[in-house]
Amino acid sequence: MSNQNILEVKNLTKHFKVGHRQIVHAVDDVSFTIPRGKTLGIVGESGCGKSSCARTVIRMYDPTKGQIILDGVDITNLKQKELKPYRKKMQMIFQDPYASLNARMTVRDIIAEPLLAHKIVKKKEDANEFVYPMLERVGLTKEHANRYAHEFSGGQRQRVGIARALILHPELIICDEPISALDVSIQAQVINLLKEFQEEKGGAYLFIAHDLSMVRYVSDEVGVMYLGQMVELCEADEIYRSPLHPYTRGLLGSIPIANPKLAKAKEKSSIKGDIPSPINPPDGCRFHTRCPYAKPECAKVAPQMKDVGGGHMVACHLY
Ligand code: SF4
């Protein structure tokens, strides 16, 4: 029987050592699940750990602590060789289509590579029956197959990246800011393409973005990360209708506050100051150095994620 959740991430932590003694707290104690065929959007400023989280989930980085369960199998500590069968289920679309495609390979070879690696086909020539329809599916043509990535625009390259990620029909696609490097005019096309694929094939997405507007139309649930931690997580509609965490509200700018306790407080249209260094994150609530509602307790006691009703999770002493 297949699992209801394609991905379960429990207390995931990823620290990087820098120099002799310093530790970057890239991801700290992050938990979430993604049901089959659904999309979780994760947002936050650059440096909040969202990309490190995605890369740890796909095991580009080894986790420091926590668990990654893919389709019911704990893949947290599998060695790279042991991971191979699970890689087929989980693919990644990268932010920068200029850097992520091999400049020396033709588009056909780029898209065919996963088919050969997973022995779906034995020879390159046999891959054409999969590659050509996929090229058409992402809005390119058979004629593009013999060209090199540098001959394409940014939007076309990202289509090639999507074709490569989706050629194996993975059940989980990790999209690491897949539209951030693209012209605004192209962003909607790429989002629509990803949505169409999901409707056709039923894959799930972990969709990383730096602002909430980018994930609005793709996400079933949205998580907000700040300085390595998840600070709010709930259904997508709910987060736009009733954001609770002061950081989320700051990200959303002028969205009115639903909570009457806070309604009188002056809303900030943007968050002041820079994100502190993840090498020495602030004690207590990591957002207290920038939070307009911080109280003395916030600098001392770290708030835990809690369900404030209907599965709306938030980590803040105001609730
Ligand atoms: Fe602000 Fe305190 Fe809530 Fe942190 S816990 S977000 S500092 S009110």
pLDDT in tens, 275-313: 899 998 999 999 999 999 999 999 999 999 999 999 999
Mean pLDDT of 176-203: 85
R_g over Cα of the chain: 21
Q: Is the pLDDT of residue 262 over 80?
A: no
Ligand 1 atom closest to the Cα of residue 303 is 5
Closest ligand 1 atom, residue 246 Cα:
6
- The answer on pLDDT for 256 being more than 50 is no
> Which protein residue's CA is at the shortest distance from atom 5 of ligand 1?
316
Cβ of 291 less than 6 Å from ligand 1 = yes
Cα(277) to ligand 1 centroid in Å equals: 18
Interval 41-94: pLDDT, tens = 999 988 899 999 999 999 999 999 999 999 999 999 999 889 988 988 999 998
- Atom index in ligand 1 nearest the CA of residue 247 equals 6
Q: What pTM does this model have?
A: 0.90
Give the residue among 292, 187, 297 at the shortest CA–CA distance from 245.
292
Q: Which ligand 1 atom minimizes the distance to the CA of 292?
A: 1
Q: Is the CB of 303 under 6 A from ligand 1?
A: yes
Ligand 1: distance of its center to the CA of 319 in Å?
9
Ligand 1 centroid from CA 209, angstroms: 23
Q: Which atom of ligand 1 is nearest to the CA of 293?
A: 8
Query: What pLDDT score was predicted for residue 231?
Result: 98
Give the integer Cα–Cα distance in Å for 90 and 177. 16
What single string gives the DSSP state of each residue in 25-78?
EEEEEEEEEEETT-EEEEE--TTSSHHHHHHHHTTSS--SEEEEEETTEE-TT-
CA distance linking residue 285 with residue 298, whole number of Å: 5
CB 97 within 8 A of CB 181: yes
Pocket test of ligand 1: the residue of 227, 267, 298 to mutate, having most ligand atoms within 8 Å of its CB, is: 298
Contact predicate 12/29, CB 8 Å = yes
> Which three-class secondary structure state does DSSP give residue 307?
strand
Is 318's C-beta closer than 6 angstroms to any atom of ligand 1?
Answer: yes
pLDDT per residue as tens digits for the range 93-119? 988 777 778 888 999 999 999 999 998
Ligand 1 centroid vs 14 CA: distance in angstroms? 23
Task: Give the integer Cα–Cα distance in Å for 241 and 41.
Answer: 16
